[in-house]
Structure 1
């Protein structure tokens, strides 16, 4: 896959631009859930200004009054071009895409096409909590195939697939790639093995690839639909995580050649959900925001090293293995003796808000997820407060 050197963009590090006072003027969930004395390192919002290409595109749209309904394939074409340059993947066919409101709502629609009430959806815990919430709300059953030391356990996955289809029911596998919360980047060999297992057992794969632009260092992202045997898979992608656009909702569902018929059955009204302004923003990010993204990745790479150093110095009992993707850190706090939910202690006694590990499923107890998409000053202060909470 193509490697892009993060240091070559010439852009300033977006994580080092905004002061804490400026950030506290924001009115989003991250900054309004807790009192002002709490450092919020929990929900997936980064402490960055937007890429200027995005600001210009949205501002121009507002000046034009271009706030109607979305149309056209510019977003899909921008993503296809980005995928070709970034990942060396030329297989993203614009004609096999559909716009959806966001990745998780897109996941829901894909699972509706592939499964019915009572059918099984396999996940790999610890994993993004909405996987459980959305799937169970759809009246599907969750089957867990836990990660093994942070990576896919193919034996556990095969056993889950076998059980899921026993009795003749349909089944799907909701793949998180790159993985949230561990930051694991699945290899081409692992994904090819997944595709082979899915075909063997008749399990349909839906890949949540929202963190795909956020692969750090020398790790290479492999799109699931690019591996042999994945032709009947479906993927969800978006610019929202890479360019910090969660409040501008839009995403793309992408079908492999063998899943095009299913995607065509998606109800037409689903495409009414995305925001036209969001589509404009995401398109601009993918087309013109790559230098900003590269500067961000260099900053995140520095932050994960800083976090490892700070934990080693101040909280050496916390086990942290820096992931190769995302701006999320999965902290194993079990040796601290804080019980199943260490995030509760860090909040009450340290005034640092982390995400509790419990909603991430099996393997989440005794863990917490930290959002390192912030300045080095905030990150350093957060670790200092967490250590002070234990005294």
Structure 2
């Protein structure tokens, strides 16, 4: 199967990036998505997108290389670009003085957790949730307390409050690692939901750390609300990056943003933490946030098309698979339990269908019998992947 190149303009007037690259072009890539499996496998798993680099980002990187500007990061260019982007998109302008450069979002989360908790303290998460939450929290010598999502894949507030109580047992410090928007379900939390989180966190003395790496990827019909912007979120932290929205995972750089009451805590992050970010990462992420809005809007239109296409394909080929269209991210969470494929349907789809998906059990409680599918590909690849999944049965 070799999808054709397409250059159909999206609603923004910019070509849909997901229709730009043929499968042969993609297989020349050397990143994890394309090298983890043999060439006969269609990879719809790890959060890499099948897109060319956005022109503003490519220009900024080319100019930096031309100048030999490959030293250490400095200044507030990234923080300023994020502030302007957040103000345009979310009506929130975090100040550079409340921002710290970190190597990437997960390492930034670990550094913030070290500010507000100690070894052995609890970190609350909402499974099914991004598997590195478990790995990084454990590596930081903190313990996980689960507050599973409800049957509607939204926050379950009685479960969350019970988890806060368990986490604060014996008066120990605790944190809540919020995924906003939520990975893998694509749920976008509303302002009312986040304000209820803030009220519970204040009541129980839990510090909130919000992973907002997918924030620019909220789709039509929903709106991202930065957690530190809500009433009661003043003592929280958010971690943001252009990584997911502009496909920059290989160019490391992220920002930790503190609410007004958390600024003194964030100031305690050691200066050397910021040295772990790549200068070229800062250049790329700044350019994306500053000048990549049209490209992002074209991408969002393409992801929106693909989420509708996936619903149609599942209804036609895999009607027993339950699926709620994501409100944000380019990820789809598929309930395959009715197919009788056991706890890890992804293993079956890989072996029999040659389609690589993320295995549900790694996402914690509620993950068994599920798979995560990456929508950020061409309609042709998505169509072929679902056809192969159906044939695997």
Class of the TM-score when normalised by the shorter of the 2 chains: over 0.9
TM-score between both structures, scaled by the size of structure 1: 0.97
* Structure 1 position 218, deviation (Å): 2.2
Question: Which string of whole-angstrom CA distances, capped at 9 and with x for unpartnered residues, describes residues 231-283 of structure 1?
Answer: 00001000000001000010000000110111011111101000000100000
Distance 1:306 1:163 in 2: 42
Aligned residue in 2 for 1:199? 202
Aligned residue number for residue 328 of structure 2: 325
Equivalence for 2:40: 37
Unaligned stretches of 5+ residues in structure 1: 1-5
> What is the TM-score of this pair, normalised by structure 2?
0.97
Query: 1:76 maps to which residue?
Result: 79
> Whole-Å Cα distance in 2 between the matches of residues 85 and 46 of structure 1?
24
Match of 1:86 in 2: 89
The answer as to whether partners of 2:10 and 2:302 remain within 8 angstroms in 1 is: no
Q: What is the aligned partner in structure 1 of residue 124 from structure 2?
A: 122
Q: Find 1:101's aligned residue among 85, 100, 103.
A: 103
State the superposition RMSD in angstroms. Answer: 0.8
Note the C-alpha offset of 1:137: 1.0
Find the counterpart in structure 1 of residue 13 from structure 2.
10
Structure 1 residue 213 corresponds to structure 2 residue 216: yes
Alpha-carbon separation, structure 1, partners of 2:226 and 2:10: 24
Query: What CA distance in whole angstroms lies between the structure 2 residues aligned with 1:352 and 1:8?
Result: 30
- Superposed CA deviations along residues 84-138 of structure 1, whole A, max 9, x for unmatched, are 0111113x11110000000000000000011011100000000000000000111
Is the aligned partner of 1:49 residue 2:16? no
Q: Report the count of equivalent residues.
A: 384
CA-to-aligned-CA distance 1:52-79 (integer Å, 9 cap, x gap): 0000000000000000000000100100
Asked if 1 retains the 8 angstrom alpha-carbon contact of 2:10 and 2:16, the reply is no
Superposed CA offset, 1:294-313 (max 9, x none) = 00000000000000000000
- Alignment of 1:284 with 2:287, yes or no, is yes
Q: Deviations over 1:162-195 (max 9, x none)?
A: 1111201100000000000000000000000001
Partner in structure 1 of residue 139 of structure 2:
137
Residue 184 of structure 1 aligns to a residue whose secondary structure is coil
**Alpha-carbon distance in 2 for matches of 1:334, 1:105:** 34
Partners of 1:282 and 1:9 lie apart in 2 by: 21
Whether 1:19 aligns to 2:50 is: no
Runs of 4+ in 1 over 6 A off after TM superposition: none
**Counterpart for residue 110 of structure 1:** 112
* SS in structure 2 of the partner of residue 245 of structure 1: coil
- Between the aligned partners of 1:104 and 1:153, the Cα distance in structure 2 is 24
What are the ranges of 5 or more consecutive residues in structure 2 without an aligned counterpart?
Answer: 1-8
Cα separation, 2, equivalents of 1:235 and 1:16? 32
Q: Within 1, Cα distance between the matches of 2:63 and 2:137?
A: 38
Q: Which residue of 2 aligns with 1:314?
A: 317
Pair 1:371-2:343 in alignment: no
